[in-house]
Amino acid sequence: MRPILRLLPLPLCLATALSAQAGERPMPQNWALCPVGDVVPAFADFPRAPEGLHIDPLDKTAAPDAADGKHAPIDIEGDHLDGTDANPVFQGNVTMRRGNQFMGADQLTFDKAEGRYKAEGSVRFQANGLRLRAARAEGDQTSDTHTMQDLQYQLLSRRGNGKADSLSLAGEEGSLRGATYSTCPPQARHWELDARRIDIDNQTGWARAYGASLHVGKVPVLYFPFFMFPTDDRRRSGLLLPSISNSSRNGLDWAQPVYLNLAPNYDATLTPRIMTSRGALLGGQFRYLQESGRGTLNGWWMPHDRLRDRDRGSIDFKGVQNVSEHWQARADLVWISDPRYLEDFSSSLDGLSRATTFSNLGLYGLGQGWTAGVTADHWQLADYTLTRSVLPYDRLPRAFLYWQRSAGMALTYGVDAEAVRFQHPVYAAGSRFDAKPWISAPLQGDAWFLRPTLAWRYTTYVLDPALAQSLGSGKTPSRAQSIFSLDGGLFFDREIRVKGRDYLQSIEPRLLYLNVPYVDQSGMPVFDTQPLTFSWEQLFRDNRYSGGDRQADANQLTLAVSTRMIRQSDGFERFSASIGQIRYFRESLVRLPGEPITEKGNSAWVVDANYAPTDRWTIGASYQRDPKFKRTDLASLRARYLFPDDGIVNINYRYRRAQLEQVDFSFLYPINPSWSVVGREYYSLRDRKTLEGVAGVQWDSCCVAVRLVARRYVQNRAGQLGNTLMFEIELKGLGSAGQNIQTTLRRSILGYNRDDLYLVPPQTATGQPSKPAPANANP
């Protein structure tokens, strides 16, 4: 029975026929594929047949091989035994097993001398995730030839199923005639692939298909007189699925990837691309994978872009390499040919909002109680409306160390240190050394904590002569400041019952006192320091600046309180709210050039609240109000509703004084289990302009999805709007044709894929991810 195992690659070949897949492309995990149904019902006599007669026609001394049954004996059982000893005929619940393979039939005749068998009546076969039924089957073990007639098969793990008129096998070669394949159930055949004949050579892993066509419904949409495709998981060079789209800027946009299988641990993809309104370009990707590292190199080159009348291109590389147990090298390098590149080759608002590109290369270390690294980074201009004078300083190189130790239960100490050489294409620069040793005595109990911390920060420079002369502070200005903070909080909680449900309610007051003496820093340069966005996190930092060029003086007290209400049955947070404010006991004189002094008094109130009236509704708000000027600095309102059938509605309002005022409405609304509409209106109230508008319809079943989406969006920095019409048909479990609309919808509609709701970073009222802690913040 060994040759029957060769049936397994045949339907797998059909699964790759449309795309003629050359490289390994794992199935997206979020495809809503059809459930694994019993297209071929499970066999009642598998894996164990009824007790009956037994015969072993082969040598039982051979060692069985459970993987492929090459040396396993054949066991045949049935209710009745007729015929002769040389030609036994088994009837009634006949089963034949060899290794992990199973065949059942109403009748099976076996010729011991010739090694031939013939199975008739409800032939059943199952092995290695494949289950099939056939009208008849016969084979010759000696010549290794086998045939089956009128078969229906099902892939148990890949959800594919189909039929074939006949199957012929001869050694490592086989031929399948009149074959079909689909991931749809038989009663709803939304798409199906069929071929007049498929010849397979399992030794080389290649198959040849003749007269193959793809049907969507009952309509043939693609026809292949002849093509070759792989029969197993070995990677092979060849064509991948093309990407096709149309837009007002690019015209018809066709990209055809060509996969090159260079070696088991590295490969490449070349992608010729034609944009009818702009010209032709060539893209490429090279990937490698080693035991100690991996990397990806991407590049695009356009010899002549008619849009800008020049050559265009880009290169980016991302890679990591383990050097030792504690050290790892990382690279994230980007180069673009001109400042308009991101604007012209990006179809999202992210490409327009980026004024620079950032490249970083470094060696990073991590151990128990320490983090260190030596890095270099570089900025490149990506906004043609700006000049290189706006670029941040390059750090070539930068070395840092964060180290801490505990002395018993009540004392922790450490040091944060950094040494940097700054460079800039326009301005004079210099070097900086910044060190902050600190000691803390954290105390805590079940319902309280108290953390007094004392630090001393020392910063010194070696400046280029031109910069030293402009600042008038000498070549080696320095600064030394003590930093004292006392951070304490309480935790109160109680159990309450609301509408028949048990909740845990907490109230968490917190105080932070910060004292930093004033040191004049007006003669010090500003290399990489910016004021941090005022937010809830900023209430508890010891410096309102990032970087090491400024350490704010302070004599202030933060007062804050938070409360939460958590459902005890499942941990669902029904309500949360936080409010806080800083009280400045004196004015803070340290500032950046052009920045006002932080005056004595109270800071803006920081308020944040979230409420879930039901498990489907979530409402939230953030608010900052300056009591001195009686004005709102920031406001954000957000609401989300989840439909029972995977639909969602998002409503957001964002306001930041003198910067932006926007509304963002997006939705995925299911009309019925198959049809749904999608849309987004992202509008700037300040500019009275649509930033992005999306409207579309999609039909989605468990084996086919069709999407048609129109998009209007800001396509350049001048604010001009562009239009594009996108169409995609996705044959689930097989492939897709057209533009990748799902990527656009996931970016535009938060929650289009429900899993994305659990991957969203914390948001500020500007709609941007919250800024990370500065590099020299306390651990």
pLDDT in tens, 92-115: 888 888 777 788 899 999 888 887
| Residue pLDDT, tens place only, 526-568 | 999 999 989 999 999 999 999 999 999 999 999 999 999 999 9
Contact 660, 766 (CB under 8 A): yes
pLDDT for residue 720: 77
Contact 653, 671 (CB under 8 A): no
pLDDT for residue 192: 84
Flag residues of the chain having pLDDT under 50. Answer: 1-31, 48-69, 759-779
Nearest to 707 by CA among 686, 683, 677: 677
Sequence-distant contacts of 344-348: CB under 8 A, at least 24 apart: 344/249, 344/305, 344/307, 344/308, 344/312, 344/716, 345/300, 345/312, 345/314, 347/247, 347/713, 347/724, 347/744, 348/713, 348/747
Which residues does 661 contact at the CB level (< 8 Å), separation at least 6?
654, 655, 684, 685, 686
Burial of 244-275, coded b for 16+ CB within 10 Å and e otherwise, reads bbbbebbeebbbebebbbeeeeebbbebebeb
pTM of the model: 0.74
pLDDT for residue 481: 95
Nearest to 181 by CA among 204, 205, 213: 213
Sequence-distant contacts of 738-741: CB under 8 A, at least 24 apart: 738/243, 738/244, 738/245, 739/243, 739/244, 739/245, 740/243, 741/696, 741/707, 741/709
pLDDT for residue 175: 83
pLDDT for residue 539: 94
Which residue's structure tokens are 């009748």?
A: 107
pLDDT for residue 339: 92
pLDDT for residue 418: 97
pLDDT for residue 19: 34
Nearest to 191 by CA among 219, 228, 227: 219
pLDDT for residue 285: 97
A 10 A CB-CB count for 483 gives 22
DSSP element (H, E) containing 467: helix 465-471
pLDDT exceeding 70 applies to what percent of the chain?
84
What's the CA dihedral at 115, 118, 122, 123 to 10 degrees?
30
pLDDT for residue 729: 81
pLDDT for residue 350: 64
Positive or negative, the CA dihedral 153, 155, 160, 166 is: negative
3-class DSSP assignment, residue 4: helix
DSSP state, residue 441 = -
| Residue pLDDT, tens place only, 141-174 | 677 788 889 988 887 766 678 889 998 878 667 7
Hey, which residues does 381 pair with through a beta bridge? 356
